Amino acid sequence: TKIIVATGNENKMKEIRQIIKRDDIQFVSLKDEGLSDVEIVEDGDTFEENAIIKAKTIADITGTIVIADDSGLEVDYLDKAPGVYSARYMGEDTPYTVKNNHIIELLKDARGVERSARFVCVIACVMPDGNVITTRGTIEGQIGYEEKGENGFGYDPIFYLPEKGCTTAELSPEDKNEISHRGRALTAMYKKLEGVL
């Protein structure tokens, strides 16, 4: 079964392929399908809304199974910002090291549990008959005091896991996928689809 992933984010694509490793499922990207130029208006207020918008926009064109991932970082001290605006925070083209150090600076007076944060991932799936399913996964952590680690992408270098004593950027891809918001949301989606694919 071919499943189109309505994303332009190569890092997500890589993780999705690592999380669900099955010979009978091929995840293809918008780029693979020549659909990179399709305009997707991500104007929802929630991860669920945006994931559905992305998957539906592509499914309306292809009529095939499409999934989308809408995700982000919620920092409690910042009233859950950047949240659904995680990709656009400080501008889409601002390097992540700048965004990460800005968040560290905003939290300079926060200590311990005041630094709590979570990654959220919602996977939406649109079936050829128009049926829509969503699943959500989260991982709880804290904002670190400095960037650490070279793995992962985006906010991973500042997402510290107290119980592991490291950031998600210091975990191997396998270890991150095992516990991550994306790993959890996508595994839950796979379980829902297993019967119908």
Is 70 designated active site? yes
Using rule CB under 6 A, residue 183 touches ligand ITT: no
Query: Per CB under 6 A, which of residues 134..163 are in contact with ligand ITT?
Result: 152-156
CB of 122 to ligand ITT, least distance (A): 9
CB of 192 to ligand ITT, least distance (A): 20
CB of 195 to ligand ITT, least distance (A): 26
The nearer residue to ligand ITT, 153 or 190, going by C-beta atoms, is 153
H-type alpha helices, 84-161: 96-106
Collect all residues with Cβ–Cβ distance below 8 Å to 86 and sequence separation of at least 6: 71, 72, 73, 154, 155
**Residue 47 marked as a ligand binder:** no
The nearer residue to ligand ITT, 181 or 196, going by C-beta atoms, is 181
The pair of three-digit structure tokens given for residue 197, joined into one six-digit string: 């694919």
Query: How many CB atoms are closer than 10 A to CB 41?
Result: 9
Find out whether 65 and 4 touch, Cβ atoms under 8 Å. yes
**Residue 146 marked as a ligand binder:** no
Using rule CB under 6 A, residue 86 touches ligand ITT: yes
Using rule CB under 6 A, residue 100 touches ligand ITT: no
- Stretch of 3-11, 56-64, 109-117, 129-137 lying at the interface with ligand ITT (CB under 6 A): 3-11
- In the set 23, 37, 45, 70, the catalytic residue is 70
The nearer residue to ligand ITT, 36 or 196, going by C-beta atoms, is 36
The bridge status of strand 26-29 relative to strand 2-5 is: parallel
Using rule CB under 6 A, residue 69 touches ligand ITT: yes
Q: CB under 8 Å, gap of 24 or more: what pairs does 74-78 form?
A: 74/117, 74/118, 74/119, 74/120, 75/103, 75/107, 75/117, 75/143, 76/114, 76/116, 76/117, 77/106, 77/107, 77/110, 77/114, 77/115, 77/116, 77/143, 78/103, 78/106, 78/107
Mind telling me the catalytic residues? Answer: 70
Cite the annotated binding site for Mg(2+) by residue number.
70
Residues in touch with ligand ITT (CB under 6 A): 7-9, 12, 54, 69-73, 86-87, 119, 152-156, 180, 182
